Structure 1
């Protein structure tokens, strides 16, 4: 078992470790109130969306059913993420395109859980590609990826709603 874990860690591409450290740092920083730009807030949703699209194209047989499942779960995840950000805890920053946000205690666990699950699925795809092609495993990967990508998109959507909604009230 230890040999497998060592082989798995050695075989992991460097970009995965860089991404892990980046997500860990961002998740820890999210636990503190901060003033952030809209562009900076978009980084995490963009990472998970691109990563999930990459996985879909590379590892799934894209049928209409798979795409529809992914879109449906993405929407459900977005609703969850949207709900997690409370608008009364967000205000427009004094600088252009910034928001003052309270501590986000959901960011670190969501990012680490999403990363861990996607990492395990990546290892499974490398070790046993036929396992990941089985309908149940493939559907599980589609659902999990869509939920996490959607949750980060939903959070960002709520931040955008807070920014643009408050901007209209000020002007």
Structure 2
């Protein structure tokens, strides 16, 4: 019996369009969560996802939605794998994803901090950062809460236009 491999490019295009459950203006491709779509030797479509952080509650929804869309498109055998290495970083958000965040009033993350190999340095004072207001472009902003509607965002306020906004934390 000859196994016909599925159209992996079509499967990838479908998986790339799945919206993030917490930031629905972004697709899994925009967010950098969709790592790969391949075909196993038995014809199973395998989609690899990396969570934005350990214990991300949206992962179950992402996995289910990718699998459902692939099956609805006629891919009978689908497997969703969680890939943890390398860990996701906010640097994987695409330029298009960053544009979409700003367009929806959410400040995209700054570059993720770089740490040398080995122990991560501990700092006891808060990290001072500049976050640009996604509405007016001012850098005269302040953090009002380290946590917002989801763990990956913080609440900020612009002191120039006085508007509150969310900021996606850099990881």
- Normalising by structure 2, we get a TM-score of 0.25
Greater strand fraction, Structure 1 or Structure 2: 2
Higher RCO structure, 1 or 2 (CA under 8 Å, sep 6+): 1
Greater helix fraction, Structure 1 or Structure 2: 1
- Normalising by structure 1, we get a TM-score of 0.25
- Larger CA Rg, structure 1 vs 2: 2
